[in-house]
Structure 1
Amino acid sequence: MKMWKQGLSLLIAAFLMTSVLSPTASADYFPKDDEKSNHASNIALIYTGYYNPDNYDGVKVGDYNKDQFLPYVGYLNEQGVAEDYFFDTFLMLTTQSPYKGSLARYYDWVAGSKPGTLQDWKWAMDRMFEKGLQLDGLEEAVEQVGADLNDPGKKVNVYLTMPFPDPQCKDFGDFNGDGQVKNLESLDTRKELNRWYIDTMTDRFNQRSYKHLKLSGFYWLQEDLDTGVPGEKESVQYTAECLHQHNMRLGWIPLRDRQTENATFYIDDLKLVKYEGMKQAPDYAIKLTSAIPAMDVGAVWTPAVENKSEKDAQGQLVTVEAVFSSSEPSVIEITPEGTLKALQAGKAVIRAAVGNIEAESKVVEVSPWRFNQLKGADSIIEMDPGLKNPVIRDPLQGGKQYVVKDGSNIKVAHKYNERYDMWLVFDHFGANKLHSFYEWRLSPNEGKEVSPDLKRASSVLQGEGSDWIGP
């Protein structure tokens, strides 16, 4: 399965909207495909800035043509034909120009850097419209994937970079043609620059008449907001207002505790009070009755949802009310009391919603046999707190392995210890249906070598709980 290429970071995005007049930021997140986010659900972060080829073995890292975009626009089979869509939104991130002026805030401790000027901004603007690359390449990729899927009208969302108008720059250049070199210490000048940039980029985008790209917004490049700088908050707010006039959004990934928050893309979050000493956004996770996500037929479990960002006075994670759902009600039913009832063998994704925030999902298997009483060897798996379980200690090194492919399912079997074989299973998994590691399984085998029979009884030792991919 052809899925990704080097040089691209991926962002599976959630969304947050706050009023520009609100004194505090909300902790509520948008669901996928929401109108207020211009229907963005899954965002690919595309690094299109300048990266000196001399530092990358001659490779032009920031250049993206159709072929480089294809595996992000669609799920491609071995013949390179799309079988489904992949990312629906593309954030074109231009962080630096070859002229070394900073497109974000200038810091004097960054070697060789200087405040960004009009020369840097114009390079970043032209970068998006290079023939056959960047937006052109994405347009061609979406057209091809849409044709593969008999969907010729397919469109994806695009967010363009909004460079940071740095008040440290006193000789920015003449961006409006009045013959004056601009000093960005002036808030009014910064506002005028922001509007000029948005209007110019929007006009250039529209002139290309892309059939498969929708300009949905701009991304505020500077990852923090310094409330000690006069007019900085007003500059951001004005930029959001300009975009709203074009029915677009201002996106932002905040810097917090010196680390960018993972997988969270904020929309129009202008006051930023929440990120200055207030508690973390909730991070909900489902807690099952057993640490091993495998149920017997007829078993009933009582799940819970914990907020991993909040602890009580005793240091325990806080439990919250949630509404549960099952992807396969015929396998695992959600009872009126909110419990999980195993009905027949199979697998189901268990999800939970706390208000409009979705918790981390869990994949649970229902086995026709007891998961702690393996067939074949009649050996009980006894878990204890010290990880002294005989199943997961004293593994054997080396030896023969068997690989069996059945459709998309791939099993790799090896002799794990004197009592068990271990199977590594790969398959499509998660909301994005990526082909990746799926689970570990154990199967009784007291022979000296691994057994080639991969259809015999086995038990889940550990299931994978994430479909994240990244750099």
Structure 2
Amino acid sequence: MRRLLIIIYILCLTTTAWAQESGKGQYGKTNIADLVLIYQGGTHRPMEWTKEQFLPYIIHEDSKGKKNWLYDGFLFLEFKDGKGRVYAPGYDKLNARKTEWEWLLDRNFEKNKAFYALNEAIQEQKPKMKKLVFKHKLVVGIPSPIFNQKDWGQVDGKDMDFSKHEDRITAGKWYIDRFLERYKAAGYNNLKLEGFYWVDEDVNGCAEILEPLGDYIRSKGLRFYWIPYWNAKGFDQWRKFKFDFAWLQPNHFFNKKIPDSRIDQACDLAKKLGMGVEMEFDSHGLNASKEQKSGRLKAYIEAFKRNGAFEESPIAYYEGGNGMYLFSKSKDPKDKVLMDELAAEIIKRKSKSFMKKISKGDK
């Protein structure tokens, strides 16, 4: 009995030591330093994403008039079309069909907007700015083939039945292929397509199709990305589902009842799991907002400094669909100070040494 107790005690010590060591961890690495989320497509969105609207995401001009390149990564994603159809479960009553998937493709490749506008805006800034030390990278969301949907449409003359995993995978591959055909034909000289993003933020109803879709994306020389919400089902098993990289959402900004310590927890968890972290804010972070959430954005900045995220972690940025743009238009000095502080951290991360460290995650 005593020997059994000793063995149990040793196992407990070993487990505790392992947990402490794994808790230290390191943030994961990928070749995108700062990935800003661009919600584009749905008719309900506040932005059409023209060249003028992209400018504050490409270039930051500080309070002294100094300009620098800003985000190196752009994630285009959409959850619904704004007309009653959804590209991921739960956002409206009706699931998007092949017709709506094709419509979303058209929106992405619309002239003078979206990819086209981003590419042109970068081109226009090149002669005015110091030489780029990075390539602007593009990640694109894949609509989710929602489980049990029967009315999606056909691929090669066959009706797709999304109660069957193979049909869901077929539809996902169809979208990837159509996108790549159109992207290649467009010839954007200032963008580099890095991969595709899974718009479902947990693995409910989609776990079985993630690995084959990821394998198909990798067969094209691209990567498969994910940003699960706090405690989402499957978030701690992102490698099991064969994502190439994942960022963790702290989900702190939106609810004032959630303490600032949540951001520290998210950073610790991201290090333990080899993930990146997401910064979150929107227009409610403006000083004039009735919500008065500028302090919550400040909390992210301080926590990311404190936890080494700015120094070591790839970071995704949720900004509410137009937050950066509205901050750039604000005349309030407090807004300028806050955005200058955030932008200064992002700009520092574009040094060659940091990008070299991040690029170790390249394949």
- TM class by smaller structure: 0.5 to 0.7
Written as runs of structure 1 = structure 2, the 5 A alignment for 1:24-63 is 28-31=26-29, 37=30, 39-52=31-44, 61-63=46-48
The answer to which structure has the higher strand fraction is: 1
Contact 2:51 2:117 survives alignment (8 Å): yes
Q: Tell me: higher relative CO, structure 1 or 2? Use CA pairs within 8 A at least 6 residues apart.
A: 2
1:66-465 aligned within 5 A: 66-76=51-61, 83-105=67-89, 107=90, 113-151=93-131, 155-174=135-154, 176-178=155-157, 180-226=158-204, 229=205, 232-257=206-231, 270=241, 308-309=264-265, 428-429=340-341, 432-433=344-345
- Any conservation in 2 of the 1:146–1:153 contact (CA below 8 Å)? no
Unpaired runs of 5+ residues, structure 1, are 1-25, 32-36, 53-59, 283-306, 311-348, 359-409, 413-424, 436-471
Structure 1 residue 101: deviation in Å?
2.0
Q: What letter matches 2:60 in structure 1?
A: Y
Tell me if the contact between 1:27 and 1:281 (Cα under 8 Å) persists in the aligned partners: no
Partner Cα distance (1:411, 1:173) in 2: 53
Tell me if structure 2 keeps the 8 A contact 1:155–1:211: no
Is 1:65 aligned to residue 50 of structure 2? yes
**Contact persistence 1:170–1:182 (CA under 8 A):** yes
How far 1:254 sits from its partner (Å)? 0.9
Instruction: Tell me how far apart the structure 2 counterparts of residues 70 and 143 of structure 1 sit (CA, whole Å).
Output: 11
Rounded to whole Å, the distance in 2 between the matches of 1:257 and 1:85 is: 34
CA-CA distance at 1:83 after TM superposition: 2.1
C-alpha distance in 1, partners of 2:88/2:339? 41
CA distance in 1, matches of 2:312, 2:62: 33
CA distance in 2, matches of 1:44, 1:157: 10
Corresponding letter in the other structure for 1:432? A
- Counterparts of 1:269 and 1:209, CA distance in 2: 34
- Assess if the C-alpha contact under 8 Å between 2:70 and 2:343 holds in 1: no
| Count of aligned pairs | 252
1:50 alignment partner, SS class? coil
Asked if the contact 1:99–1:120 (Cα under 8 Å) also holds between the matched residues in 2, the reply is no
* 1: CA distance, partners of 2:137 / 2:188: 12
The Cα of 1:69 is off from its aligned counterpart by 0.5
When Rg is computed on C-alpha atoms for both structures, the one with the higher figure is 1
CA distance in 1, matches of 2:239, 2:104: 23
SS at match of 2:168: helix
| CA-based RMSD | 4.3
SS at match of 1:97: coil
Q: SS of the counterpart of 1:235?
A: helix
CA contact (8 A) 1:143 1:152 kept: no
SS at match of 2:159: coil
Give the letter aligned to residue 341 of structure 2.
F
CA contact (8 A) 1:104 1:166 kept: yes
Distance in 1, Cα, partners of 2:218 & 2:109: 23
More helix by share: 2
CA distance in 2: counterparts of 1:428 and 1:281, whole angstroms: 23
* TM-score (normalizing by structure 1): 0.46
In 1: Cα distance, 2:146 partner to 2:82 partner:
18
Query: Structure 2 regions of 5+ residues with no counterpart?
Result: 1-23, 251-262, 267-303, 314-331, 348-363
- What does the per-residue CA deviation read over 1:254-298, in whole Å, with 9 as the maximum and x for residues that have no partner? 133579x9xx9x9766279xx9xxxx999xxxxxxxxxxxxxxxx
Amino acid at match of 1:118: K
Q: Deviation string for 1:312-335 (max 9, x for gaps)?
A: xxxxxxxxxxxxxxxxxxxxxxxx
